[in-house]
Amino acid sequence: MSKDVLDELKKEFSWFTETLCPSGFEEDFSRRLKELCRYYADKMKETSYGDLIFTHEGEGKKKVLLTAHIDIPGAIVTSIDDNGFIRFTYIGGLDARALPNQRVSLYPSNKKIFGVVGIKSFHLVSEDETSRVTPMDELFVDVGASSREEVEKLGIKIGTPMTFCPAINFLQNNIVSGVGFDNRACCTVLYRLLKKVREQRRTEDIFFAFTSREELGMVGSELVANIVQPDYAFILDIAPTGDTPDLIDSRVPVKLGGGPTFLIKQGEDIIHIPLYRRVLEIAARHHIPTQSCSMEWEMTETHKIQGIKHGVPTLDICLPIRYAHSAVESVSLEDMLQIEKLLLALIEEI
């Protein structure tokens, strides 16, 4: 893997993680993304929910849809007290364990306000509090204001969205840690594919969809699939790894750096097995490592796309991730590049 490729990927990934949005509040990011991508597409379509579909027009032989959701879990403000402390509730899969002691960004219109999720000073914690997860409704955000009026002057009110503060840190061995990597790491890969397909003048009709509201019932993917009516669909999303000391007995065989990952069983569902087998063959031919696992809880956009038309063979191509939905989500740049390589092969050979 050349240094130039890695440097380019790091730069693109940084762009994709500097503006975050919780589900339902995608408009600002969607606007920025439109400006970034439109140059590389023959056509662009957007839905009223902020989904963007960039089309590469080929020769009309087959339509391939690639999706990556742009939203992340977050919160909205539910109340502001007389002393300027802010209470909130979750949007999507926000994890209460990951919240205390974190820096957050609040997004009143066209602004970003920093805050912290406060915790009791160490000296004031009772013994039983040390081993307890603080429920979300006991947590609060401190923006440094001293009254409700001061908070309101900043534009923060009930319904203002909030996420962890954007962050990206480069660790050893091409591992990157930060916020919003589910699913902005995959959005970065989708963007790179859009550019590559244009450079390579591919002859397939390819639809690159950046979707909204995955955390809220996968609304965007359903809209997009109904518009595109594809022959095949590939969903770019994440798969949690089981390769850290706390998960050693978890029976999750997925490893960071182990390559594109397939969730064969997701909850009650089994993926499209003929497509899965075909993809494994193509990956093997291109010497791309792959991993497979079963998740009792995972639900991805596949569930919304596979049932349209007369049935669309659909497969998740997942990026391994550690610490999902926390402020230190970690992924491997090498895995991102392997997914890119696999998809470039699949578009042609499927």
Instruction: Please report, as ranges, the residues that interact with Zn ion according to CB under 5 A.
Output: 182-183, 237
Please state the closest distance from residue 201 (CB atom) to Zn ion, in A: 31
Please state the closest distance from residue 252 (CB atom) to Zn ion, in A: 16
The contacts of residue 87 (CB under 8 Å, 6+ apart) are 77, 78, 79, 80, 81, 137, 139, 140, 141
Please state the closest distance from residue 205 (CB atom) to Zn ion, in A: 26
**H or E element, residue 163:** strand 161-164
Separation between Cα atoms, residue 58 and residue 252, nearest integer Å: 40
Q: Of 19 and 55, which has the nearer Cβ to Zn ion?
A: 19
The secondary structure of residue 72, as a DSSP letter, is B
Please state the closest distance from residue 178 (CB atom) to Zn ion, in A: 15
Separation between Cα atoms, residue 239 and residue 142, nearest integer Å: 33
**H or E element, residue 338:** helix 333-349
Q: Of 115 and 220, which has the nearer Cβ to Zn ion?
A: 220
Separation between Cα atoms, residue 39 and residue 54, nearest integer Å: 10
Ramachandran quadrant class, 286 (left: phi over 0; alpha: psi -120 to 50; beta: rest)? alpha
C-alpha closest to that of 314 among 322, 305, 323, 325: 305
Q: Of 182 and 205, which has the nearer Cβ to Zn ion?
A: 182
Please state the closest distance from residue 174 (CB atom) to Zn ion, in A: 21
Please state the closest distance from residue 213 (CB atom) to Zn ion, in A: 11
Q: Of 58 and 166, which has the nearer Cβ to Zn ion?
A: 166
Helix, strand, coil abundance in the chain, percent, nearest 5: 35, 25, 40
Q: Of 63 and 213, which has the nearer Cβ to Zn ion?
A: 213
Q: Of 183 and 188, which has the nearer Cβ to Zn ion?
A: 183
Decide: 256 and 331 in contact? Cβ < 8 Å.
yes
Q: Of 30 and 183, which has the nearer Cβ to Zn ion?
A: 183
Decide: 84 and 66 in contact? Cβ < 8 Å.
no
Please state the closest distance from residue 43 (CB atom) to Zn ion, in A: 26
3-state secondary structure of 175: strand
C-alpha closest to that of 54 among 66, 64, 43: 43
Q: Of 80 and 224, which has the nearer Cβ to Zn ion?
A: 224
C-alpha closest to that of 74 among 101, 118, 106, 117: 106
Please state the closest distance from residue 324 (CB atom) to Zn ion, in A: 8
Q: Where do we find the tokens 């999706």?
A: 67
Please state the closest distance from residue 183 (CB atom) to Zn ion, in A: 4
Q: Of 119 and 295, which has the nearer Cβ to Zn ion?
A: 295
